[in-house]
Chain A
Amino acid sequence: MTTPSVTEQGQAGQPRPSLVPARLRKRLQQFLAFGGLIVVFAFFSIASPNFFNYGNVTSILLATVVIGTLALGTTFVIISGGIDLSVGTGMALCAVMAGTFITNLGMPVPLGVLLTVLFGGLIGLVNGLNVALLKVPPFIATLAMMLAAGGLALVISDSTPIYFSDTPGYVEISIGSIIPGADFPNSVLILAAIAIIAGVLLSRTILGRFAFSIGSNEEATALSGIKVRQWKIIIYTLAGLFTGIAGVMISSRLGSAQPGTGLGYELQAIAAVVIGGTSLSGGKGSIVGTLIGALIISVLNNGLQIMSIPQEWQNVILGCVIVLAVYADMARQRTA
Chain B
Amino acid sequence: MPLDAQAPDSGRRALLEAWGVVKNFPGVKALQDMHLELRHGEVLALVGENGAGKSTLMKLLTGVYSPDEGQFLLHGEPLEVSGPRQALERGISIIHQEFNLVPDLTIAQNIFLGREPRYGGLLLREGELNARAQELIDSLQLPLDPRQVVGTLSVARQQMVEIAKALSFDAKVLIMDEPTAALNDAEVRVLHELIRRFVRPDTGVIYISHRLEELKAIADRITVIRDGRYIETLDTPTTTVQDVISRMVGRELAGDARPENVRDDRHVMLSVRGMSTKALLEDVGFDLMEGEILGFAGLMGAGRTEVARALVGADKMASGSVTLRGRPVHIASPADAAKHRIGYLSEDRKQLGLLVEQAVESNIGLSALQELFQTLGFVKDRAVRETAERYVGDLAIKTPSVALTTKNLSGGNQQKVVIAKWLVKDCDVLIFDEPTRGIDVGAKEEIYQLLNELARRGKSIIMISSELPEVLRLSHRVVVMSEGRVTGVLSAAEAGEENVMHLATMRFIGDR
Q: Are B335 and A226 closer than 8 Å at their CB atoms?
A: yes
**B23 contacts the other chain (CB 8 A):** no
On whether the beta carbons of A10 and B405 are closer than 8 Å, the reply is no
Q: Is the CB of B401 within 8 A of A4?
A: yes
Does B354 lie within 8 Å of A205, measured CB to CB?
A: no
Separation of A226 and B355 alpha carbons in the complex (Å): 13
A11→B398 contact, CB < 8 A: yes
A219 contact from B351, B359, B421, Cβ within 8 A:
B351
Interface size class of B (residues with CB under 8 A): 35 or more
CA distance A91 to B443 in the complex (A): 55
Binds A, one of B196-204, B374-382, B463-471: B374-382
Q: Find the A residue at minimum CB distance from B373.
A: A206
Binds B, one of A16-24, A58-66, A129-137, A299-307: A16-24
Tell me if A212 is interfacial: C-beta within 8 Å of chain B. Answer: yes
Write out the residue numbers on chain A whose beta carbons fall within 8 Å of the beta carbon of B377.
205-207
CB distance from B379 to the nearest CB of A (A): 6
A283 close to B357 (CB less than 8 A): yes
Contact between A16 and B408, CB atoms less than 8 A apart: yes
Q: How far is the CB of B332 from chain A (nearest CB, A)?
A: 11
Chain A residues with Cβ below 8 Å from B314 are 222-223
A155 at the interface (CB under 8 A from B): no
Q: Which residue of A lies closest to B26 (CB)?
A: A13
- With an 8 A cutoff between CB atoms, is B40 at the interface? no
Q: A14-B398, A205-B374 are in contact. Are A212 and B403 (CB under 8 A)?
A: no
**A13–B408 touching, CB < 8 Å:** no
CB-CB contacts below 8 Å: B335-381 with A: 335, 337-339, 343-344, 346, 351-359, 362, 366-367, 369-370, 373-374, 377-379, 381
Q: How distant is the Cα of A224 from the Cα of B405 in the complex, in angstroms? A: 18
B378:A205 contact, CB within 8 angstroms: yes
- Chain B nearest Cβ from A281, distance in angstroms: 10
Contact B401 A6 (CB under 8 A): yes
Q: Determine if B312 is an interface residue (Cβ-Cβ < 8 Å).
A: yes
B58 at interface, CB cutoff 8 A: no
Q: Contact: B404 with A21, CB < 8 Å?
A: yes
Query: In the bound complex, do residue B405 and residue A22 qualify as a contact, i.e. CB atoms below 8 Å apart?
Result: yes
A203 to chain B, nearest CB (A): 9
A203's nearest neighbour on chain B, judged by CB, is: B379
Is B399 part of the binding interface, using a Cβ–Cβ cutoff of 8 Å? yes
Beta-carbon contact of B344 and A223 below 8 Å? yes
- Once the chains are docked, how many angstroms separate the CA of A285 from the CA of B21? 50
In the complex, the answer to whether B354 meets A220 with C-beta atoms within 8 Å is: yes
| Residues of the B chain whose Cβ atoms lie less than 8 Å from the Cβ of A226 | 335, 366-367, 369-370
Sampled A-B contacts (7; CB under 8 Å): A11-B410, A14-B410, A17-B400, A22-B403, A212-B355, A224-B366, A283-B355
Query: Which residues of B does A touch, CB under 8 Å?
Result: 312, 314, 333-335, 337-339, 343-344, 346, 351-359, 362, 366-367, 369-370, 373-374, 377-379, 381, 398-401, 403-405, 408-410, 412-413, 421, 425, 440, 443
